[in-house]
Structure 1
Amino acid sequence: MTAKSYLNQIRIIDQDIQSRIEEKQRLYATLIGSPSITHDVVQSSKTDAYDERYMKIIEAGEDIDKRIDKLVDKKIEASRKIDGLDLLDNTSAVILRERYINLKTWEEIANAMNYSVRHINNLHSKALKDFDKIT
């Protein structure tokens, strides 16, 4: 596995979690909005059906929690590997950390470090090569 694919796992896990959180929120909104009003009479699902749907939402939340734990573990592992880079300066480590641990865009990293995006990309390529050596 290349350094880039290893580090990109964090972004993929994070995107998956965000997608599942949105899904859970939509399910919850559907559950809350399930009673309907017609002819001044409130009609709602049976209590058992409501409870079953609510339990599914709780299970979805538990699944998200497990995925968040996996994300945190992956970030800690990657961060330790980044710390293990034998670098003359800290620039490569900062770029890798900002991109893959903090999930920042190239523009955000360039602005924070006062470099051009092109220069950040060049430094990033070198940093990945250094990271490949330790993995």
Structure 2
Amino acid sequence: MTAKEYLRQLLSIERLIQVKTTERERLMALATKVTSALSDCKVETSPDNTKTQSIIIKMAELREEIEEQVSRYIALYRKIEEEIDDIEDDRYKLLLIMRYMGSASFSDIADKLGYEKRWTLVLHKRALRDFEKRHCI
């Protein structure tokens, strides 16, 4: 695994959490959906409890999965934060933090650091090499 792949894990986990959260919200809306009667006829029917129960079970499973991913994210975030903090060059630290922990684009990073985008890309490459050397990824 390269340093870039290692650091990108944060973004992957974050996206996974977002997808699962969106799915849970969709299921919540489905479970609480209220339908109105379309006719004046009264028909006695029993509600489809099995469908509602399966939705509730799936929502509970998703909640557990989200909690697991959040815990995983926090642990990895702290670990990467410590690993980046080991780097001596402050420019490298800032760049890696902004890119992999803050999901900033290279254009945004260049603007914030006061560099040209091309120089930011050069520094990024150097920062990744330094990170790899220090952490044997």
| RMSD value, Cα | 2.2
Q: Structure 1 residues 99, 37: closer, same or farther in 2, change over 3 A? A: farther
Q: Distance in 2 between matches of 1:66 and 1:37?
A: 41
Q: Match for residue 11 of structure 1?
A: 11
Choose between structure 1 and 2: higher strand proportion: 1
Q: Distance in 1 between matches of 2:111 and 2:26?
A: 35
**1:92–1:123 contact (8 Å) kept in structure 2:** yes
Q: Match for residue 97 of structure 2?
A: 97
Q: Distance in 2 between matches of 1:95 and 1:56?
A: 40
Q: Match for residue 64 of structure 1?
A: 66
Consecutive unaligned residues in structure 1, runs of 5 or more: none
Q: Match for residue 130 of structure 1?
A: 130
Q: Structure 1 residues 37, 119: closer, same or farther in 2, change over 3 A? A: farther
Q: Structure 1 residues 95, 82: closer, same or farther in 2, change over 3 A? A: same
For residues 72-131 of structure 1, the C-alpha deviation after alignment (integer angstroms, 9 at most, x for no partner) is 1111111111011132xx111000011111222222222222222222111101100110
Q: Distance in 2 between matches of 1:110 and 1:45?
A: 59
Q: Distance in 2 between matches of 1:32 and 1:44?
A: 17
Q: Structure 1 residues 48, 68: closer, same or farther in 2, change over 3 A? A: same
**If the length of structure 2 is used for normalisation, what is the TM-score?**
0.84
Q: Which has the larger radius of gyration?
A: 2
SS at structure 1 position matched to 2:88: coil
Residues 17-96 of structure 1 correspond to what in structure 2 (within 5 A)? 17-33=17-33, 35=35, 37-39=37-39, 45-87=47-89, 90-96=90-96
Provide runs of 4+ in structure 1 moved above 4 Å.
Answer: 40-44
Aligned residues: 133
Higher RCO (C-alpha 8 Å, min separation 6): 2
SS at structure 2 position matched to 1:119: helix
Residues 103-122 of structure 1 correspond to what in structure 2 (within 5 A)? 103-122=103-122
Q: Distance in 2 between matches of 1:44 and 1:91?
A: 66
Consecutive unaligned residues in structure 2, runs of 5 or more: none
Q: Distance in 1 between matches of 2:125 and 2:131?
A: 10
